[in-house]
């Protein structure tokens, strides 16, 4: 009896696993359903890409990515009835797949990617890439590789509709080429949103034509703090090196287009009323004191905040006019976090505002400020997103709350019927340490391991079943105080970003061992892409 079972197991291992290619399938994020077949497809120099009933974008993208590493021409064809030696993209009508789902079917003579939308086709193609050898991500031709795709039938769709990563380019400026690489990596992991944190105390990074000093002055600081911000003021030392940079409007348009082709929406963040010191250094009249504080060189909050009056609102509306022109995103993030109101309490102009609008305390002033901006965004058909402090001033109509101080904000917002994004700093702040090894590079403090991220549940268990629908999803944060360059950002982001992608797309995959096994293969892809990830223990 035992011998029989062993015999069957051996037969299964030899024929079942290997012939079907089972062992090699390691897709991240894990698809909802994979069935293994005994078929397989091999790309060669005659393989064509056929697209049906869709605009050409996904097919063209697929051809350009695949031909780079295979060296095959992978010609596009809009017609063709013969199902022979081709990769087919086909729009279908399948209500089970939703707006972002897809099917991926591999046969001996063709591969079919089908979906209701271009987004779905794009994600199907991303899964196909992960069925191929990792060298498919190479930027040059790999002659010695056979491009065999194991036989599978995949049916897949995401759990959450908000699947984002944030990147702070204010604390340290990140070059445009890196921003594009960052977007490529988002696409590979089936994220659909990039939260671009463009302004803060330490640097203003977006060209605004009406206010040139924002980038002439606000994009540059004279030096940067050495070491941790927690050291006593009197002991702080600065490197004395000018740091800065900004994106021109043309560059931003280019990045928005680049992201669009990868089905990623870019949500810009323009911080207000706090985190505004770089703007106030450019135009001191925007603060309540009229003083020029310079662009901030260390970290932590600033007492220089936008003064709460009509002049500042007018300035912000003008800035937003240019921002909205550049970013088609429905969602516009306006910060709202960590507002130190000392200058408001003593500000003559704030007194005038309080009298005029009958505001009794600083919470009401803050509520008025954010409410005005919300009204402006709504009048431009956009939706305001703000950090969870927004709850304290009364959430403006239809605003989306981004919960970062734990998940309390998400619970409060959802229970009040507001949409919310879970950015819980206990799970999604990738500026925290990844291990307690003592050999990690300097970080802000705290610990979030790969497994912590994998176990993150964006839907707080405190929420009633009915209110869970208000959780749009979640996102990872990369605050760059202690990440001076792109290599360092990659180190902090990966592989935690891979685990987050699985939380957001697959959801409730509780088998961390299985994730780690797939990650081993996935890291070969990141190697090919020259990603400076942290090697898991």
Catalytic residues: 200, 275, 338
Task: For residue 279, give Cα distances in angstroms to 245, 302, 478.
Answer: 14, 12, 22
CB of 64 to ligand ACM, least distance (A): 37
Which CB atom, from 137 or from 430, has the smaller least distance to ligand ACM? 430
User: What is the C-alpha end-to-end distance of the chain, expressed in Å?
Assistant: 41
Cβ proximity to ligand ACM: between 222 and 337 the closer is: 337
Torsion, CA 288, CA 293, CA 294, CA 299, rounded to 10: -100
Residue corresponding to tokens 């348009």: 253
Which residues of the shown chain bind ligand ACM in the complex (CB under 6 A)? 337-338, 387, 404
Write down the least CB distance from residue 334 to ligand ACM, Å: 12
CB 50, CB 82: distance < 8 Å: no
Asked if 407 and 442 touch (Cβ cutoff 8 Å), the reply is: no
Of 201, 170, 172, 171, the C-alpha closest to 282 is: 201
CA distances from residue 364 to 50, 179, 193, 359, 398 in whole angstroms, order as listed: 59, 38, 32, 6, 18
59 and 163 in contact (C-beta within 8 Å)?
Answer: no
Closest contact distance (angstroms) between CB of 227 and ligand ACM is: 20
> DSSP string spanning 86-136?
EEEEEE---TTTTTT-EEEEE-SSEEEEEESSHHHHHHHHHHHHHHS-GGG
| In the block, residue with structure tokens 């051996």 | 10
Q: Which residue from 525, 527, 420 is spatially nearest to 463, judged by alpha carbons?
A: 420
* Shortest distance in whole angstroms from residue 392 CB to ligand ACM: 14
CB nearer ligand ACM, residue 110 or residue 418: 418
The residue (of 299 and 404) whose beta carbon lies closer to ligand ACM is 404
CB of 197 vs ligand ACM, minimal distance in Å:
9
Least CB distance to ligand ACM at residue 358 (A): 30
Among positive and negative, which fits the CA dihedral 38, 42, 47, 48?
Answer: positive
Of the two residues 251 and 338, which places its CB atom closer to ligand ACM in the complex?
338
Distance CA 144, CA 516 (A): 28
Taking CA atoms, 497 is separated from 188, 261, 534, in Å, by 11, 21, 11
Nearer to ligand ACM among residue 369 and residue 387 (C-beta): 387
Least distance (Å) between residue 479 CB and ligand ACM: 6
Report which DSSP code applies to 492: H
Nearer to ligand ACM among residue 111 and residue 492 (C-beta): 492
């Amino acid at each position: 009896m035992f011998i029989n079972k062993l015999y069957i197991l051996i037969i299964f291992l030899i024929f079942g696993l290997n012939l079907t290619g089972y062992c090699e399938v390691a897709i991240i994020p894990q698809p909802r359903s994979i069935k293994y077949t005994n078929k397989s497809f091999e790309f060669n120099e005659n393989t064509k890409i056929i697209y049906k009933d869709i605009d050409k974008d996904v097919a063209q993208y697929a051809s350009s990515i695949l031909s780079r590493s295979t060296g095959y021409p992978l010609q596009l064809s809009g017609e063709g009835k013969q199902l022979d030696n081709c990769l087919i993209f086909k729009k279908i009508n399948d209500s089970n797949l939703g707006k972002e789902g897809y099917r991926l079917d591999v046969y001996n003579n063709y591969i079919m990617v089908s979906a209701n939308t271009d987004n779905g086709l794009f994600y199907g193609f991303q899964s196909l890439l992960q069925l191929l050898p990792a060298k498919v991500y190479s930027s040059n031709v790999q002659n010695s590789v056979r491009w065999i795709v194991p036989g599978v039938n995949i049916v897949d769709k995401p759990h959450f509709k908000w699947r984002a990563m944030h990147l702070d380019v204010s604390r340290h400026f990140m070059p445009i080429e890196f921003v594009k690489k960052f977007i490529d990596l988002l696409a590979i992991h089936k994220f659909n949103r990039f939260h671009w944190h463009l302004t803060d105390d330490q640097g203003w990074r977006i060209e605004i034509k009406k206010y040139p000093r924002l980038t002439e002055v606000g994009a540059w600081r004279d030096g940067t703090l050495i070491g941790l911000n927690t050291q006593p003021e009197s002991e702080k030392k600065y490197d004395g090196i000018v740091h800065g940079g900004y994106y021109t409007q043309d560059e931003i348009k280019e990045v928005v287009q680049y992201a669009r082709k990868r089905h990623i929406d870019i949500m810009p963040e323009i911080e207000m009323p706090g985190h505004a010191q770089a703007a106030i250094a450019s135009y001191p009249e925007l603060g309540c004191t009229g003083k020029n504080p310079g662009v901030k060189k260390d970290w932590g909050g600033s007492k220089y905040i936008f003064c709460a009056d009509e002049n500042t609102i007018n300035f912000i509306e003008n800035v937003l006019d240019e921002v909205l022109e550049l970013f088609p995103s429905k969602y516009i993030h306006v910060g709202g976090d960590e507002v130190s109101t000392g200058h408001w309490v003593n500000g003559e102009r704030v007194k005038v505002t309080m009298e005029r609008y009958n505001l009794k305390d600083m919470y009401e002033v803050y509520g008025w400020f954010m409410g005005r901006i919300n009204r402006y965004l709504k009048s431009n058909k956009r939706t305001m997103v703000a950090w969870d402090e927004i709850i304290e001033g009364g959430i403006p109509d239809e605003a989306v709350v981004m919960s970062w101080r734990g998940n309390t904000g998400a619970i409060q917002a959802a229970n009040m019927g507001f949409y919310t994004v879970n950015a819980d700093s206990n799970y999604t702040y990738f500026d925290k340490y990844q291990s307690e090894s003592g050999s990690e590079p300097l970080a802000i403090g705290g610990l979030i391991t790969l497994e912590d991220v994998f176990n993150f549940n964006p839907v707080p268990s405190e929420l009633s079943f009915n209110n869970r629908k208000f959780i749009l999803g979640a996102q990872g944060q990369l605050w760059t105080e202690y990440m001076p360059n792109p290599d360092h950002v990659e180190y902090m982001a990966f592989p935690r970003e891979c685990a987050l992608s699985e939380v957001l797309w697959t959801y409730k995959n509780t088998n961390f061992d299985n994730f780690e096994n797939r990650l081993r293969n996935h890291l070969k892809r990141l190697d090919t892409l020259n990603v400076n990830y942290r090697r898991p223990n």
